[in-house]
């Protein structure tokens, strides 16, 4: 099995993954209690799915009792630019680095399936299941248990080899592979990620209140956003990279090898006035193959209008005014708010 594991690592790197680690399905006994506390405090907001199938999330061995090993893999998507620089361009929008091109779910899953097929060729009697952020699997605690890195104070996974610009994928298998040692934390006294958060979404180090997180507000939250939070969102219209971008461990980040993670030029600081004009068909055409397509035109334009309201640019009033009677009430509310702010 050690030989198979070594060969698997070589194949994983050939497939495009930068790092691999293995743990047992029962390697995260603390996860269930932490998840239960998170949900009990309501910090998951409208993400009701987090409160479902909690037994599976907290105990991967319950998700698939036959699994003996969890293979965790990391794939870099390191940006070529500084995501924080775009925040000063108030007539432009800021889109999270991971969403500026192809949907990572599709790309990572394709690599996982390729690697899984190779593994089955070596062990024909084995079985596998692959997961990329769409099943009741807690990838970050599993990746920490598998030695890929540690969950930093911003709750994202950090690696001494990769910084924090990387996606995670998992292969569950019935093969009993030698596990790796878990990674210890190396954040020390640094609080850069906590200090930079525009909305104060971290009640304490290693804790997140999604209800105040801009990534949650722009992607998962349905309906109008709390008025007290809108002004803090700046020009971020899909996701937020602040806590990731400021992390000192990114000096070890590896260049992304997948060209389809490189930002499409039209999604790097796009004009807010242009985005506000998108109807449903234009939205779908612009974001075909992108993770942004999932939130739909209405929620996206709602976010754009919050950014317009925060721009301080009176020239954008017209873009907001034309939407004050939009059929979607959240869009219309955001448009009225933006007009009030700019006046």
Q: How far is CA 316 from CA 116, 207, 269, 282, 341, in A?
A: 50, 37, 16, 20, 11
Among candidate residues 133, 180, 274, 328, the one labeled active-site is 133
Determine contact, residues 131/172, Cβ cutoff 8 Å.
Answer: yes
pLDDT at residue 341 in the model: 97
Q: Using CA atoms, how far apart are residues 83 and 275, in angstroms rounded to an integer? A: 19
pLDDT at residue 291 in the model: 96
| Residue 150, strand partner residues | 158
pLDDT at residue 90 in the model: 87
Give the H or E element holding residue 318: helix 317-321
Query: Which 8-state DSSP code applies to residue 141?
Result: H
**Total residue length of the chain:** 343
CA Rg value for the chain: 21
b/e code 299-337 from CB counts within 10 Å (16+ = b): bbbbbbbbbbbbbeeeebbebbeebbebebebbbbbbbb
H helices of 165-295, where? 192-196, 214-219, 227-230, 242-245, 272-276, 280-286
pLDDT at residue 145 in the model: 98
Residues with Cβ within 8 Å of residue 327, at least 6 apart in sequence: none
pLDDT at residue 89 in the model: 87
Low-confidence ranges of the chain (pLDDT < 50): none
Q: Compute how many other C-beta atoms are within 10 angstroms of the C-beta atom of residue 14.
A: 11
pLDDT at residue 86 in the model: 85
Determine contact, residues 155/197, Cβ cutoff 8 Å.
Answer: no
In the chain, domain spans: 2-79+102-173, 199-239+270-342
Tokens of 225: 């956003």
Query: Which 8-state DSSP code applies to residue 312?
Result: -
Q: Using CA atoms, how far apart are residues 39 and 50, in angstroms rounded to an integer? A: 8
Q: How far is CA 338 from CA 44, 86, 104, 217, 307, in A?
A: 27, 20, 32, 17, 8
Whether 133 sits among the annotated catalytic residues: the reply is yes
**What end-to-end distance do the CA atoms of the chain give, in Å?**
68
pLDDT at residue 55 in the model: 86
Structure pTM?
0.95
Residues with Cβ within 8 Å of residue 337, at least 6 apart in sequence: 227, 230, 305, 306, 309
Helical packing angle, 104-122 and 2-15, nearest 10° = 150
Tokens 């980040």 -> residue: 253
Give the H or E element holding residue 319: helix 317-321
Determine contact, residues 35/58, Cβ cutoff 8 Å.
Answer: yes
Q: How far is CA 61 from CA 27, 50, 142, 149, in A?
A: 9, 18, 12, 21
Q: Using CA atoms, how far apart are residues 126 and 200, in angstroms rounded to an integer? A: 47
Q: Across 106-215, where does the E strand assignment appear?
A: 128-131, 150-151, 157-158, 166-173
Q: Using CA atoms, how far apart are residues 266 and 285, in angstroms rounded to an integer? A: 13
């Amino acid at each position: 099995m050690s030989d198979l594991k070594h060969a698997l690592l070589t194949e994983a790197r050939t497939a495009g993954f930068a790092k691999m680690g293995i743990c047992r399905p029962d390697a995260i006994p603390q996860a269930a209690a932490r998840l239960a506390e998170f949900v009990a405090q309501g910090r998951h907001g409208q993400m009701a799915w987090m409160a479902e199938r909690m037994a599976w999330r907290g105990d991967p061995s319950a998700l698939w009792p036959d699994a003996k090993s969890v293979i965790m893999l990391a794939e870099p998507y390191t940006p070529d630019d500084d995501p924080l620089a775009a925040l000063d361009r108030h007539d432009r929008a800021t889109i999270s680095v991971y969403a500026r091109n192809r949907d990572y779910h599709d790309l990572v899953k394709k690599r996982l399936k390729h690697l899984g097929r190779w593994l089955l060729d070596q062990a024909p009697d084995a079985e596998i299941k692959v997961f990329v952020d769409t099943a009741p699997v807690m990838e970050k605690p599993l990746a920490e248990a598998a030695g890929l890195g540690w969950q930093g104070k911003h709750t994202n996974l950090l690696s001494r080899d990769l910084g924090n610009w990387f996606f995670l994928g998992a292969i569950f298998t019935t093969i009993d592979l030698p596990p790796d040692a878990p990674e210890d934390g190396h954040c020390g006294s640094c609080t850069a990620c906590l200090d930079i958060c525009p909305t104060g979404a971290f009640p304490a180090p290693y804790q997140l209140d999604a209800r105040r997180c801009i990534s949650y507000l722009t992607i998962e939250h349905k309906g109008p956003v709390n008025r007290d939070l809108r002004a803090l969102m700046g020009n971020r219209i899909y996701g937020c990279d602040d806590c990731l971008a400021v992390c000192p461990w990114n000096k070890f980040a590896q260049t992304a090898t997948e060209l389809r993670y490189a930002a499409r030029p039209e999604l790097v600081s796009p004009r807010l006035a242009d985005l506000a004009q998108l109807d449903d068909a234009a939205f779908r055409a612009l974001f075909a193959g992108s993770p942004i397509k999932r939130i739909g035109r209405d929620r996206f334009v709602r976010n754009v209008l919050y950014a317009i309201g925060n721009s301080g640019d009176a020239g954008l009033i017209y873009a907001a005014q034309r939407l004050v009677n939009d059929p979607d009430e959240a869009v219309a509310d955001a448009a009225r708010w933006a007009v009030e702010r700019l006046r």
